[in-house]
Amino acid sequence: MRLLTHNMLASNARGAVTGYPLKLQVVKWSTKEVEPNPDFLRGILPKLDWPALVAATHALGLPELLPETPPTDAELSAEGAAEEEGGPLRRLHRALLEIHIEEGTLVCPDTERCFPISRGVPNMLLHEDEVRN
Amino acid sequence: MPFIICRVKITNLVSLWLWDHRHVVGIDIDLHSLEIAQENAADLELDIDLIQCDIKNLNLRGLLVDTVVMNPPFGTSNKGADMEFISMGLKVASRAVYSLHKTSTREYIKKTALRNCNAISAEVLCELRYNLPQTYKFHKKKEVDIAVDFWRFVPRAREESRGEASKK
């Protein structure tokens, strides 16, 4: 599971208010390099929950990866932004699309219900009596 | 933009190319189906994220998803199960929901989607023959060839709220 998916996923456990954002506990993660797509990143940026994304990178032990405030559209659109190693576009690309959580846990912020991540797949299943009404 | 595929094993992953494989999330209740989806995606060199979840308990921030493609259970033995999928899809998707349903239920699907599931349009794009192998114990014949509609539903524009996408 990548952090872009984490950014949209919420808990539906009984007692959850919003169930969002899920706290991330990471045991193992990996990196898989892919080609950045500037248009995609510019399109997705305004839809992200930035504090949730930053918190996820901190949980990974990468507090330097993203700044506290999101990059601007101008920064992502600048000429050569996609080629600039360590630049804002490449950092965002890495955070959202190149890091894969392999093993760990997602924790509901309201109820502390734990959802295990195993072999890259989060298990969000709930028993009937655990589901939010 | 990201989109979601539900019940990933049976859904034809080739169709993902239409969306330029930008970010795809596959959802299924069954881990074995997800493993098959993972293999299919790897064969097609697609990078997809998978979530094990019962669709009726899915809670997503809707803003990020534009398209949902799904192949719900036909709802023959569990009436209304397919409408639950459509309803969830229309809550999450901002652009469209694509889905397969039995042709014999066409009028019911259309009426229910427009009246109860927040769709502003529901159209059948094409009719297919679907070869259904015996997958459940209650299936009496070894396999049946049934008429299936490929639908496109467009959700009504709505106010976004975080983490409330699937709350009833």
**pLDDT per position as a tens digit, B122-137:** 999 999 887 766 666 6
Contact B39/A at CB under 8 A: no
- Predicted ipTM of the assembly: 0.93
Residue of chain B minimizing CA distance to A34: B47
What are the tens digits of pLDDT across the range B89-113? 888 888 889 998 999 999 999 999 9
Both tokens of B3, joined, read 């989109």
Instruction: Out of B52, B59, B168, name the one closest to residue A125 (CB).
Output: B52
Q: Which of A18-22, A95-99, B40-44 has the lowest mean pLDDT?
A: B40-44
User: What is the domain count for chain A?
Assistant: 1
Alpha carbon of B96: minimum distance to chain A alpha carbons (Å): 18
Question: What's the confidence (pLDDT) of residue A20?
Answer: 96
Give the pLDDT of residue B76: 58
A132 and B CB contact within 8 Å: yes
Q: Which amino acid is at B113?
A: A
Interchain CB distance below 8 Å, B166 and A18: no
B10 vs B89: which has the higher pLDDT: B89
Least confident of A24-28, A52-56, B42-46: B42-46
Q: Which residues partner with A123 through β-bridges?
A: B52
Nearest chain B alpha carbon to A44: B1
pLDDT tens digits, one per residue of A62-94? 999 999 999 999 999 999 999 999 999 999 999
What was the pLDDT predicted at B161? 42
Average pLDDT, chain B: 77
Q: Which domain holds residue A88?
A: 3-130
Work out the minimum CA distance from B135 to partner chain A, whole angstroms. Answer: 22
How far away is chain B from the Cα of A109, in angstroms, using its nearest Cα?
12
> Nearest Cβ partner of A124 from B2, B51, B61?
B51
Confidence of residue B38 (pLDDT cuts 50, 70, 90): confident
CA–CA distance, B143 with B133 (Å, rounded to integer): 4
What's the CATH number where A28 sits?
2.20.25.10
| Domains in chain B with CATH codes | 3-155 (3.40.50.150)
Contacts of B25 in chain A (CB under 8 A): 5, 8
Q: How confident is the model at residue B9 (pLDDT cuts 50, 70, 90)?
A: low
All residues of chain B having their beta carbon less than 8 Å from the beta carbon of residue A20 are: 59, 61, 162-163
**Beta-sheet pairing, A114-118 with B24-28:** unpaired
Cβ-based contacts of B168 with chain A (< 8 Å) = 133
Asked if pLDDT for residue B19 goes beyond 50, the answer is no
Of B22, B60, B167, the CB nearest to A8: B60
pLDDT of residue B88: 87
Write the CA distances from B32 to A117, A121, B14, B135, integer angstroms: 15, 12, 20, 14
- Fill in the DSSP letter of residue B108: H
Tokens of B23: 């970010």
| Residue A28 or residue A37, greater confidence | A28
Q: Is B135 exposed, middle or buried (0-12, 13-18, 19+ CB in 10 A)?
A: exposed
